[in-house]
Structure 1
Amino acid sequence: MRGSIRKRGNIWYYRYRENDKLIEKRGGTKEEAEKKLNEVLYRINNGYISDSEMILKDYMKMWINDYIKGEKSENTYNKYLQTIEKYINPMIGKIKLSDIKVINIEKFIRDLKKVKVNTGKSISPTSVQGYYGILRSALNKAVKLQLINNNPCRFVDTPKRARFKANVLTIDELKLIYQRVNSNSYEDYIFRLALDITAETGLRRGELCGLDIDKHIDTKKQTLKVRQALIRVKNSYVLSQKLKTESSYRTLPISESLCIKIENHKKILKLKKIKYGKFYIKNTFDDISPNLLLVQENGKFIIPSSLLQRIKRLMKYCNIEKNIRWHDLRHTNATLLLEGGISMKVLQERLGHSLMQTTSDIYAHVTDNLNREATQTISNILNLTK
């Protein structure tokens, strides 16, 4: 169907027909009126029912498929979808979109806090905030689509998240782990290479497993590019070039010693290809065959979760009583850099955080310690003048 826009005074309006009724609404500027008309026509032409009848469950399905899928990373899309199917739809999905009130949102938050996860514990405050954030984003879009006049989340206090304190390894603990890794076996050797890269660059494990030797690593320029990630989607693995945020696409300098290790690794891979011959596995993702850096001895790609399993076993073997995940090696990298005097801005860029606030929140405990050291330093300086 078609609609139209027209100007009355200084204001542009847009008109369209729905359910045999001619509707005219205020658009603002000419560009705004055209945009709003296109959004309404898109909704009608794609079979979405009018806002007066649409329930939240139907709207969430439309929102995630039309505005999240393909726009966000596959990991983010799957996380949103899981939240919608597991929490939002069962709890408030049957309410009409136009009938959702502040009281419904607040009850949704209270009910989330009562949910018990597999461990028997309640959902963490951080997760509650994240699930609420997904609902708020969806309703913000509903306002822009003119399906609702206001987002009731505007009048709801955002759930507080727990202050995050990362588990990190000390230099001595890192040394102990390295001592326990037997590089004479290929399994330990490739694990150590993964450990070397993460300890130096702070890459996420999916980014690490997605590194392509030919496209992403330049040992002459001593740089490493993050352009894709190996992630799990349902029951299979995909090589996604849609990363978490725009800031996730980054180029990092790497040390000469790491470059030497990577060059030696290339030689080892050539020998493995000769050893396995036709049985050497060629990894293919959507008709693309990358030359992955981290592979098993027979060439098959290494899944990110296997790195977590291995670090867990090592923690136990080394008697390090810390709940360390592979991601905590990223935190260890960042903490050591901060304590070594690297600025928060440089750290933000290295980690690929889109917001400085994210970096500051995660490593607030480190900056607290550095602030205390700064206070002691200035105190010592001032005492010398007395």
Structure 2
Amino acid sequence: MYQRKDGRWEVAGYVLAADSTSKRVRVYGSTRREAADKLAEKIADSNRGLPVATSDSTVGDYLTYWLGSVAVHRLRENTHTRYAACVRLHLIPGLGNKKIARLTTKDVRTFLDRLRTTCQCCIHSLDAERKACCAIGDCCQKQLSPSTVTYVHSVLKSALEHAVREDELPRNVARNVKAAAHRPRRFRPLTSAEARQFPDAARTDRLHALYELALRTGLRKGELLGLHWEDLDLTTGTASIRRSLQRTRTGGLTHLPTKTRASERRIALPTECIQSLKEHKQRQDEESETAGSAWRDSGLVFTTPTGGPLDPANLLRRFRSFLERAGLRRIRFHDLRHSTATLLLEQGVDLVVIKELLRHAHIGVTAGVYAHVRLRLQRQAIQTLGNALSPTDNDPDDPPSAAVVR
């Protein structure tokens, strides 16, 4: 341990690395005590068998360490699975052999450019077994979508950001690469006429209450499937959103916390939803009597005919079948949530109120997703102003009427 010329303190020690070998690490602090505490923390993790990243690790070694020792404790299981697939399929093949301490902004930019233009069928030999397409020299140009490239970039930034926090890197070089702008996924929410037709068309469906609740409240699919009867108070007309039902790779159908901490909330139920839920409860009681001993009392509001939890994938299939039977335009289930926000925005509800209702993390998310509606409202506002400025029969000398501008 010694003090550097720049005034910082430096201390070195040996710890367990990601490749199961012993590595010498150096940590820094503004004071002697701070540097010593940082090294003591790394040694304590090493003694518990947790590998510690080192500056001479490769990008592949560090990503493996980060996924297994850091991200696994901070991410939801499904998110961690997507991160792991991104690392395995793209980051390790493209950057895995480079030393993390020598990784440059140019390396990241070159990697992302190559990822945008390379045929994935060729690079992963997807047609090798059936000897077609790229395997016989007829490249199909199956490239990653811009949103996937952006996702890969974000995963790399998250991993390197942790390396900066652990003092393994002086800066996050991935943040210096500007992500290519891409158009967000287009969606076509229900129009006002379609939204009025939707509840009537769903009335004969077994999951009528679920569809109506999704449209009138904007709840997410997992939040709807995770509702318990104890979460509802049909007397006061409120619902507590506490959990989400998701299918995970290890646990199957599992109750997880809501998407974010802010998503855990209490909402007011529309009168129409209260009536639909009461009818749904009566139908569920009848199904319980019919099933007899085969009934599984899960306490869930929306279940299978035998009381078990509804699989999210099965719900999507049922929703598509319902749209076809009802002769409605085919939309995604998540578009019901978009429809809620779009209809509210068209009725003049403020963006801040919509953000709170949908529990978006930032107001920018709400504004960005529904930009197409804002443009239409801007046109209406301009037209209204045009009508106000058009010549009238009033005396031109009359002063304009007073108006409050907010």
Structures share fold, TM-score greater than 0.5: yes
Distance 1:229 1:91, change over 3 A: same
Given residue 287 of structure 2, which amino acid in structure 1 is its aligned partner? K
SS of match in other structure, 2:308: coil
Q: Give the equivalent residue in structure 1 for 2:54.
A: 51
Which residue of 2 is the match for residue 28 of structure 1?
A: 30
Give the whole-Å Cα distance in 2 for the aligned partners of 1:336 and 1:314: 22
Cα separation, partners in 2 of 1:70 and 1:52, compared to 1, 3 Å: closer
State the Cα distance separating 1:33 from its structure 2 match. 4.2
Write the mapping of 1:163-242 to structure 2, written as runs, cut at 5 A.
163-181=184-202, 183=204, 188-190=205-207, 192-214=208-230, 216-234=231-249, 237-242=252-257
Match of 2:75 in 1: 72
Question: Which region of structure 1 is more displaced relative to structure 2, 374-383 or 7-16?
Answer: 7-16
Determine the C-alpha separation between the residues in 2 that align with 1:76 and 1:83: 11
Determine if contact 2:45/2:51 at 8 Å carries over to the other structure.
Answer: yes
TM-superposed deviation, 1:267: 2.9
Superposed, 1:128-167 pairs within 5 Å as 128-167=149-188
Contact kept in structure 2, 1:223 and 1:253, CA below 8 Å: yes
Amino acid at match of 2:345: L
Kindly indicate whether residue 307 of structure 2 is the aligned counterpart of residue 299 of structure 1: yes
SS in 2 for 1:229: strand
Aligned-pair distance for 1:53? Answer: 3.5
Structure 1 equivalent of residue 66 of structure 2:
63
Q: Which consecutive unaligned segments of at least 5 residues does structure 2 have?
A: 16-21, 127-139, 397-406
Deviation at 1:72, TM superposition (A): 2.5
Distance 1:38 1:278 in 2: 59
Secondary structure (helix, strand or coil) at the match of 1:325 reads coil
Q: Flag the structure with more relative contact order, 1 or 2, with Cα contacts below 8 A and sequence separation at least 6.
A: 1
Which of 79, 91, 95 is the matching residue for 2:94? 91
Residue of 329, 351, 361 corresponding to 1:354: 361
- Counterpart-to-counterpart distance in 2, 1:235 and 1:25: 37
Tell me the TM-score normalized by structure 2.
Answer: 0.80
Task: Find 2:11's aligned residue among 1, 12, 15.
Answer: 15
Deviation at 1:14, TM superposition (A): 5.5
| Residues 378 and 30 of structure 1: CA distance in aligned 2, closer, same or farther (over 3 Å) | farther
| Kept in 2: contact 1:165–1:362 (CA 8 A) | no
Q: Which residue does 1:288 correspond to in 2?
A: none
- The one-letter amino acid of 2:29's match is G
Q: Tell me how far apart the structure 2 counterparts of residues 170 and 235 of structure 1 sit (CA, whole Å).
A: 40
Number of residue pairs the alignment of both structures matches:
368
Letter in 2 for 1:362: V
Contact 1:73/1:243 (8 A) holds in 2? no
Task: Say if 2:59 and 2:92, in contact at 8 Å, map to a contact too.
Answer: yes
Partner SS, residue 65 of structure 1:
helix
- Aligned residue type for 2:311: I
Letter in 2 for 1:15: V
Cα shift readout 1:303-359 (whole Å, capped 9, x = no counterpart): 11222222323444455555x111111111111111111111111111121111111
Measure, in 1, the Cα distance between the counterparts of 2:285 and 2:31: 63
Q: For 1:197-237, what per-residue CA distance to the aligned partner results, in whole angstroms no more than 9, with x for missing partners?
A: 100111111111111111x2222332222221111112753
**Residue identity matched to 2:210:** A
The amino acid across from 2:193 in the alignment is D
C-alpha RMSD of the superposition: 3.2
* Contact kept in structure 1, 2:253 and 2:311, CA below 8 Å: no
- Provide closer, same or farther for how the CA distance between residues 49 and 211 of structure 1 changes in structure 2, counting only shifts above 3 A: closer
Look at both structures and tell me which one has the larger radius of gyration over its CA atoms: 2
Q: Residues 315 and 28 of structure 1: is their aligned pair in 2 closer, same or farther, counting only changes over 3 Å?
A: same
In structure 1, runs of 5+ residues without a counterpart are 284-290
Cα separation, 2, equivalents of 1:347 and 1:370: 16
**CA separation of 1:50 and 1:234: change in aligned 2, threshold 3 A:** closer
Per the alignment, do residues 29 and 10 of structure 1 end up closer, same or farther by CA in structure 2, a change over 3 Å counting?
A: farther
CA distance in 2: counterparts of 1:23 and 1:120, whole angstroms: 44
Q: How does 1:315-330 map to 2 (within 5 A)?
A: 315-318=323-326, 320=328, 322=330, 324-330=331-337
In 2: Cα distance, 1:30 partner to 1:222 partner:
60
Moved more, 198-207 or 115-124: 115-124
| Pair 1:21–1:339, CA change in 2 (3 A) | closer
TM-score by structure 1 length? 0.83
> Identity rate of aligned residues, in percent?
26
Distance in 1 between residues matched to 2:265 and 2:119, nearest whole Å: 38
**CA 320–123 in structure 1, closer or farther in 2 if over 3 Å, else same:** farther
Report the CA distance shift for 1:104/1:21 in structure 2 as closer, same or farther (over 3 A).
closer
Cα distance in 2 between the residues matched to 1:104 and 1:206 = 39
State how far apart, in whole Å, the 1-side matches of 2:381 and 2:36 are: 56
